[in-house]
Amino acid sequence: MSWNAFATVAETKAALEAKEVSAVDLAKHYLDRTAQLNPGLNAYITLNPEKTLSEALSTDNKRSKGEVAPLLGVPIAHKDIYLIDGWRTTCGSKMLENFVAPYTSTVVKYMADAGMVTLGKLNMDEFAMGSSNETSFFGPVKNPWDTSRVPGGSSGGSAAAVAAGLAPASTGTDTGGSIRQPAMFCNLTGLKPTYGICSRYGIIAFASSLDQAGPFAQTAEDCALLLNAMAGFDPRDATSLDRPKEDYTRDLAKPLKGLRIGLPKEFFGEGNEPGVLKAVEAALDVYRKLGATTVEISLPNVKYSVPAYYVVAPAEASSNLSRFDGARFGHRAKDYDDIVDMYKRSRAEGFGAEVKRRILIGTYVLSHGYYDAYYLQAGKLRRLIAEDFKKAYEVCDVVIGPTAPEPAFQFGAKADDPVKMYLNDIYTICANLTGQPAMSHPCGVDENGLHVGMQIIGNYLDEARMLNVAHQYQLATDWHKKHPNI
């Protein structure tokens, strides 16, 4: 069978519906390509061809019986943070090296209900803590565009797999930029929805008030199709939004005439690599040609996003990761003196350096006497940042800027300096702190040919408009149609 590995979800869906291709053929195609290319990229941690092919066969049988589902037979690969019953789920950690999930996360279930076939589990920074995929216990993922560079993180495997044509789409999670930054580094479109749109049930928790699931794909249209499947109320997630389903594709075709784009001066400063700014400026010209207007805005408190985040995220992580104690699941040390020593050694052996650092920071800021100075102060800053955005939406519909200040960097460039690594997320973190939706789409290359992403931040629940904005840009440009030569 001949199949374009870079076909979009929309094209794949159409080909399946026209019976030009079967789900089994597609699954085989991506599994074969993965067998060939994954050893060089390390995008997948776990494959289970037997399960994948049996799921694919079952969707083909459904189709032949006349059953319909929105994405029946379309393959999808999941970040290894999503539990899927019977699949090993490692979260990129030695702690869960041999953990087999006993139940399925809601997002994966909803996607399976929509007919999607699971191709495998994707590599990631350990417990989603990292911006380069270098913290994975299973080794770093290589960027398919340049294997000496990082794919971004923490959803690095999710980005690399789609960029290399090892899956037509994938899921990721975004706590501080973990979908948007790798989407930029690998020339993809990635979306972090409004907090509460996608259920967190069955996604291994990092920072519960920030974590949100979202899709990676070649196009904004695909992200809309995928979000239609992923989103939905779930009583098992206490912060899931109880609201009717919406169709995120409904506004894709709307012209952009009259759209007001806010450009925060804080996002266009000297901290950006010149090539990144140039690409974003060129993309803004395209938006103006499409009928949008731009207005300069200011988000004066957004500069506190990174410090506030490095209180909130580690604090919540230290609490969430206390469940890994070597008693009920996960790694247990071989030798220990007593139960406390068992906890300490199991955690010291099972967690990598970055995860331990964050647990220690979180433990400190939550320890007796420090709560007001850290967690409470960070919570108040979240409010101030959210108010900055609220004010901005009086004069604009979406906020746009670069996704990250520099494109994909070399392995090792920041690995020894956590603060340098953290500052790579300077533009993405604010949307997690406020809970707003945000996405990244390809918008050009810098002087070295490295891909630049444009971030669109929207008001709460405004995903359909943001996808419309990105889709109209993609109709007028072809950056998103460029694929690595592998």
Partner 1 sequence: MSLSAQDIERIAHLARIRVTPDEVGQVQAKLEGIFKLIDDMQSVNTKGVEPMSHGLDMVLRLRDDAVTEKNDRENLQRNAPQAAEGYFLVPKVIE
Interacting positions 25-64 with partner 1 (CB under 8 A): none
137 lies in the site for partner 1, by CB under 8 A: no
**163: number of Cβ within 10 Å:** 30
Interface positions, 199-218, toward partner 1 (CB under 8 A) = 209
Of positions 260, 288, 356, 482, contacts partner 1 by CB under 8 A: 356
Question: Cβ of residue 179: shortest distance to partner 1, in angstroms?
Answer: 17
Question: Cβ of residue 257: shortest distance to partner 1, in angstroms?
Answer: 29
Query: Whose Cβ is closer to partner 1: residue 288's or residue 332's?
Result: 332
End-to-end, the C-alpha distance of the chain in Å comes to 19
Query: Whose Cβ is closer to partner 1: residue 382's or residue 480's?
Result: 382
Of positions 373, 395, 449, 481, contacts partner 1 by CB under 8 A: 373
418 lies in the site for partner 1, by CB under 8 A: yes
383 lies in the site for partner 1, by CB under 8 A: yes
**Ordered DSSP codes for 436-483:** --EEEEEEEE-TTS-EEEEEEEESTT-HHHHHHHHHHHHHH--GGG--
Of positions 359, 399, 450, 470, contacts partner 1 by CB under 8 A: 359
Query: Whose Cβ is closer to partner 1: residue 46's or residue 209's?
Result: 209
**By C-alpha distance, which of 72, 310, 276 is closest to 207?**
310
Question: Cβ of residue 148: shortest distance to partner 1, in angstroms?
Answer: 26
Question: Cβ of residue 163: shortest distance to partner 1, in angstroms?
Answer: 30
Dist CA 197 CA 115 (whole Å): 20
What binding mask, one character per residue, do residues 422-451 give for partner 1 by CB under 8 A, x or -?
A: x-----------xxx---------------
Phi/psi of residue 373, each to 5°? -70, -25
Tell me which DSSP letter residue 348 carries.
H
| Region of 42-50, 185-193, 414-422, 464-472 interacting with partner 1 (CB under 8 A) | 414-422
Q: Quick one: 64 exposed, middle or buried, by C-beta within 10 A (0-12, 13-18, 19+)?
A: exposed
458 lies in the site for partner 1, by CB under 8 A: no
246 lies in the site for partner 1, by CB under 8 A: no
**By C-alpha distance, which of 1, 144, 172, 147 is closest to 77?**
172
* 8 A C-beta contact, residue 185 and residue 408: yes
Question: Cβ of residue 209: shortest distance to partner 1, in angstroms?
Answer: 5
Of positions 14, 35, 238, 395, contacts partner 1 by CB under 8 A: 238
Q: Which residues contact 166 (CB under 8 A, 6 or more apart)?
A: 5, 30, 33, 34, 37, 38, 41, 43, 44, 77, 119, 160
Which amino acid, one-letter code, is at 51? Answer: K
Residues with a catalytic annotation lie at 79, 154, 178
Interface positions, 292-351, toward partner 1 (CB under 8 A) = 301, 304, 306-308, 310-311, 318, 322, 325-332, 336, 338-345, 347-348, 351
Query: Whose Cβ is closer to partner 1: residue 225's or residue 299's?
Result: 299
Question: Cβ of residue 375: shortest distance to partner 1, in angstroms?
Answer: 8
**By C-alpha distance, which of 36, 31, 30 is closest to 5?**
30
**353: number of Cβ within 10 Å:** 11
Question: How are beta strands 451-458 and 438-445 bridged, if at all?
Answer: antiparallel
